[in-house]
Amino acid sequence: MAHPFPDTVLSGLSDLFGVKMGIHFPRERWKDMERGISAAARELGFKDIQSCIRGLLTSTMSRTQLEILASHLTIGETYFFREPKSFEAIEQHVISNLIHNRSGKDQHLRIWSAGCATGEEPYSLAILLYQLIPNISDWNISILATDINPNFLKKAYEGIYSKWSFRGVPKWIMDKYFARTGDGHYQVHPHIKRLVTFNYLNLVEDVYPSLTNGTNAMDMILCRNVLMYFSTPRAKQVIENLRRALVDGGCLAVSSVEVSHILFTAFDPINFQDVTLYRKAEAYTKGSWYGIDLSSQTINTECHTSEAEPVIHPEMSLPAIEETILPADTMETETVRTETDIHEEVAVLYRQGRYPEAVDKLTGRLTELPQDARAMELMARALANQGQLAEAIRWCEKAIGNNKLDSAFYYLLATIQQECGQFDEAVTALKRALYLDPELVLAHFALGNLARLQGKSGDACRHFANTLALLDRYQPGDILPESEGMMAQRLREIIEAVNLGRVAA
């Protein structure tokens, strides 16, 4: 079918959306792309699709424009407990084993629904956890739900659904976990909503894993019906970042149509009847996975004639670690590496997601020089990204004990305490950070988020206002201190979205 626009124009738009959103529009889907742009044109401030396309190709897209386009170019059609066999495998072979192994010990679970659309998937996970954990109030549960479409996130945060979202769901689930509204819709019960945090996140452009946005140390990630919209290079980039966001032995679930022997070469695929889950392949105990005896499962080791391309490790997408340049000891010989050399080596391992290797190297370093506070900070980061939060807190406290005047140590401590659900302790640590450095932008932002979580909307607005005032001192592309790579403009956009009520902080 002929298109009213030259192929070069449509190809350019497809490339643009691929770079900015990861959404791949091959030639056979150009009509879908045109329809989406046409629907978005007026909302973007253009009189017609022609002027809209010219504007998109000749100027830099703002975050607001990106969000509007995402709402018209992505499909959010989903429902509760979609792909029941996948949920059955997740329940029986992943979550149940995690609960069994951690009951009475380190009772925490971290799950990420990446590309959550209107929220049915993360709420399904929350319901599943309520069914499986009788004493759930004694657990530290975190279900992070992210999407690129702010309209989807707004609906998800409201948690109100029509009957169409429950097709195939037993009536007793609707009666037990939802309240009927006056207009015949169903609203998620507050105790289910409390388990889920919704946030805007662009899987192509944003930085993850990161302590800053809570995308680190995940036990499980669900990224279903998302990767199929990406080009192969973009999909590989996203998959590699998701892999680094998992703890060792952590699990990635994709939809049945996204299972691939080419894209997931860095994972061990595990088959449970008709469902394939992907396990992070490094540093796990041979022969078991979350308590599963792998000898009774089918492990995919089949060779294929098509050559798998290497997984991409784009440096721009990796979390940045602030580098403290220390003066070299002039008395050292050339055969002895300086402190900065050691720190840089560990920083490289950290950026590559090689956390166990980073811990090993830091253990040796701290044996040689027990007072190296920078090494202690790096140790805390590496441990936190492996889900060893109690140990990470201990190393933060040791770093503070060696240097009580470094605000960064208190900020890092607060981010880990927040992950542990220690909100009051996190607030105390953030206030200490700001006493030492009143201009530490992310500490103000973190206080705003904590205030929102505690229902203190007035305090949240005040902290966000302080954050915005400090951001005025930065250029849009400046990387913020202690942010692991977040740019000033990105943080401003997040706060503006929160203030407009479009997403939850």
Q: What is the pTM of this model?
A: 0.77
Host H or E run for residue 415: helix 407-419
Ramachandran angles phi, psi of 399, nearest 5°: -60, -45
Please state, in angstroms and rounded to a whole number, the distance separating the CA atoms of residues 212 and 417.
12
Q: What is the pLDDT of residue 503?
A: 53
Instruction: Find where tokens 């030639």 sit.
Output: 27
Q: Are strands 292-293 and 288-289 parallel, antiparallel or unpaired?
A: antiparallel
Give all strands of the β-sheet with 246-253 in edge-to-edge order.
196-200, 140-147, 108-114, 218-222, 246-253, 275-280, 267-272, 298-299
Residue 301 burial class via C-beta count within 10 angstroms: exposed 0-12, middle 13-18, buried 19 and up: exposed
Q: For 270-279, what is the mean pLDDT?
A: 90
Place domain 353-501 in its CATH homologous superfamily: Tetratricopeptide repeat domain (1.25.40.10)
Q: Which amino acid is at 295?
A: S
3-state DSSP assignment of residue 376 = helix
Contact 252, 280 (CB under 8 A): yes
CA distances from residue 57 to 10, 117, 490 in whole angstroms, order as listed: 10, 27, 22
Q: What is the pLDDT of residue 216?
A: 93
Q: What is the pLDDT of residue 311?
A: 34
Q: What is the pLDDT of residue 175?
A: 94
- For the ranges 278-287, 357-366, 373-382, the lowest mean pLDDT is seen at 278-287
Percent share of the chain, pLDDT over 70: 85
Q: Which of 3-12, 274-283, 425-434 has the highest mean pLDDT?
A: 425-434
Q: Which is nearest to 192 in space by CA: 120, 251, 91? A: 120
Q: What is the secondary structure of 176-224 as a DSSP string?
A: HHEEE-TTS-EEE-HHHHTTEEEEE--TTTS--S-TTTT-SSEEEEE--
Q: How many helices (H) and strands (E) does the chain have?
A: 20, 13
Q: What is the pLDDT of residue 2?
A: 47
Q: What region, left, alpha or beta, does residue 193 occupy, with left being phi > 0 and alpha being psi -120 to 50 degrees?
A: alpha
Q: What angle do CA 217, 221, 225 make, to 5 degrees?
A: 155
Higher pLDDT, 250 or 288: 250
Give per-residue pLDDT as tens, 48-64. Answer: 888 999 888 888 887 77
Give per-residue pLDDT as tens, 198-239. Answer: 988 889 888 899 998 999 999 999 999 888 888 888 899 999
Contact 251, 420 (CB under 8 A): no
What separation, in Å, do the N-terminal and C-terminal C-alpha atoms of the chain show?
45
**What is the helix, strand, coil percentage profile of the chain, to 5?**
50, 10, 35
Cis amide linkage into residue 170, ω under 30° from 0: no
Please state, in angstroms and rounded to a whole number, the distance separating the CA atoms of residues 59 and 56.
6
HEC string for 3-55: CCCCHHHHHHHHHHHHHHHCCCCCHHHHHHHHHHHHHHHCCCCCCCHHHHHHH
Host H or E run for residue 391: helix 389-402
Question: Is the pLDDT assigned to residue 434 strictly greater than 50?
Answer: yes
Contact 266, 311 (CB under 8 A): yes
**If you average pLDDT over every residue of the chain, what do you get?**
84
Instruction: Find where tokens 């940045």 sit.
Output: 320
Q: Which is nearest to 489 in space by CA: 30, 61, 51, 47? A: 61
Q: Are strands 178-180 and 186-188 parallel, antiparallel or unpaired?
A: antiparallel
317 pLDDT tier (thresholds 50, 70, 90): very low
- For the ranges 64-78, 105-119, 278-292, the lowest mean pLDDT is seen at 278-292
Please report, for the chain, the start and end positions of each structural domain, with discontinuous segments joined by +. Answer: 7-73, 84-280, 353-501
Contact 270, 279 (CB under 8 A): yes
Q: Which two structure tokens, joined as six digits, stand for 429?
A: 């640590």
19 pLDDT tier (thresholds 50, 70, 90): confident
Return the CATH fold of 84-280: Rossmann fold (3.40.50)
Question: Is the pLDDT assigned to residue 288 strictly greater than 60?
Answer: no
Q: Which is nearest to 373 in space by CA: 393, 396, 394? A: 396
Q: Are strands 160-161 and 140-147 parallel, antiparallel or unpaired?
A: unpaired
For residue 292, list its beta bridge partners. 289
Enumerate residues 6+ apart whose C-beta is below 8 A from 142. 108, 109, 110, 111, 195, 197, 214, 419
Contact 85, 125 (CB under 8 A): no
Question: Is the pLDDT assigned to residue 99 strictly greater than 50?
Answer: yes
Q: What is the pLDDT of residue 339?
A: 63
283 pLDDT tier (thresholds 50, 70, 90): low
